[in-house]
Amino acid sequence: MNNSQLNHRDLYRLPWTLPDNAISWLEPTAMCNLACDGCYRENIKDSHLSVKEVKHHLDVFQKLRNTDCISIAGGDPLLYPDLIEIVADIKNRGLKPIINTNGKALTMELLRDLKKAGVFGFTFHVDSKQGRGNEWKGKNEIELLDLRLQYAKMLAEVGGISCSFNSTVYEDNLQYVPEMINWAHKHIDIVHTMVFICFRHVIPNMPFDWYAGGNKVEWDKIMYHSDKKRDVEILSTDVLAKVRERFPDFTPAAYLNGTVKADTFKWLITERVGTKDKIYGYLGPKFMELMMTVHHFFKGTYISYASPSLTKKGRSTLLLLWPFDQKLRKALGNFIKNPLNIFKQTHLQSILFIQPVDFTEKGEQNMCDGCPDITVHKDELIWSCRMEEQKQYNTWLRTVPKN
């Protein structure tokens, strides 16, 4: 899909920056119990940071970066032995603790303990290229919907916890994205966000040489590489085009641009409102601007994850905020066609497409401007998706066109 089919000036540019953002990324461990294709973190056994080190990272965040939530990732954070203490500490700092996990180690007992500690939400990474065993081995994205539903129902049973899912989009599972979004609609009461991340890897025969400072680096020595040619150029707009084949009215509201190319959609966010039976419409850029501005004015931060109690306010959103947003007025028109809808529980749901690093012909690396997934390394804020470069080479790798 050509970017000209979606004009970034018609959308709300999220106001997130390096020092003032909605999200920050904490990695207490690099250890994981799965081997996801495309993972950009080296899986290291017994790599847990001490509690003191983790809390120091939080101190660095609070010194350098205003944030609404802390995404606890890794590795898989459920393997970190002091996770409950870290969740409680984040909560005590006035931040939202979000656990990014594959879910494999989650039990109801652990979930209840995390709820008591103050966990705000979970983002479950579930897709078909994680090396899951048992009954999930070899399952495609549609067959894995049952696993996603298991996790969503676990959170719903405990109650009051935000539920999100993310999946990596490859050339062979892009076809399933529309049905996954349709599934999310059917469970809009307990699934609050769906995230789709375009696959990126270093592959053979890319038109660049790689350098760490002045030293050339062989492409196959970079941690995140594939030995065979694969499609690493899927765009967020490609995902949008696939979704619109089934849902023509699917309309994004907000975005983050690239650090090099202003008209690229590195984060592309769609907000919709409806019941389990019907989507009434999509919320527009003015709604997104209102939410960000009001939250920052009263809370001092840009909002990221919304609580289940807030996502249940779809009806109130339609009835109270329609004067401020054209798309919202259209959704309200669909809502009031049936007067009985006023008695139905109506929900808000977010759909997010993420387009990681891509390259210009000059070799420039187009990153996410105002990246939310910033982490701490050696007391500095860095891109979490490229931390292995800093660990291995103590610098960012440069790409230089061949010849």
Does the pTM of the predicted model rise above 0.85?
A: yes
Q: Report if residue 260 sits inside a domain.
A: yes
1 has a pLDDT exceeding 70: no
Structure tokens at 339: 């007067």
Q: Report if residue 314 sits inside a domain.
A: yes
Q: What is the CATH number of the domain that holds 89?
A: 3.20.20
Q: Report if residue 8 sits inside a domain.
A: no
pLDDT per residue as tens digits for the range 217-227? 999 999 999 99
Q: How confident is the model at residue 403 (pLDDT cuts 50, 70, 90)?
A: confident
SS3 61: helix
Q: Taking a C-beta distance cutoff of 8 angstroms, is the pair 28, 72 a contact?
A: yes
314 has a pLDDT exceeding 80: yes
Q: Report if residue 7 sits inside a domain.
A: no
Q: Report if residue 5 sits inside a domain.
A: no
* Interatomic CA distance for residues 197 and 292, integer angstroms: 23
**How high is the pLDDT of residue 213?**
96
317 has a pLDDT exceeding 50: yes
245 has a pLDDT exceeding 80: yes
pLDDT, mean over the chain: 97
* Interatomic CA distance for residues 266 and 278, integer angstroms: 29
* Interatomic CA distance for residues 54 and 95, integer angstroms: 15
Q: Taking a C-beta distance cutoff of 8 angstroms, is the pair 32, 84 a contact?
A: no
Long-range contacts formed by 178-182: CB under 8 A, 24+ apart: 178/242, 178/243, 178/245, 178/246, 178/247, 179/141, 179/142, 180/141, 180/142, 180/145, 181/243, 181/247, 181/250, 181/351, 182/246, 182/247
pLDDT per residue as tens digits for the range 51-80? 999 999 999 999 999 999 999 999 999 999
Q: Report if residue 9 sits inside a domain.
A: no
Pairing type for strands 193-198 and 208-212 reads: unpaired
**How high is the pLDDT of residue 5?**
77
Number of domains in the chain: 1
Q: Report if residue 10 sits inside a domain.
A: no
Q: How confident is the model at residue 4 (pLDDT cuts 50, 70, 90)?
A: very low
Residue-range definition of the domain harbouring residue 279: 16-401
Q: Report if residue 111 sits inside a domain.
A: yes
Over range 143-154, report the average pLDDT: 99
pLDDT per residue as tens digits for the range 289-309? 999 999 999 999 999 999 999
> What whole-number percentage of the chain has pLDDT above 90?
98
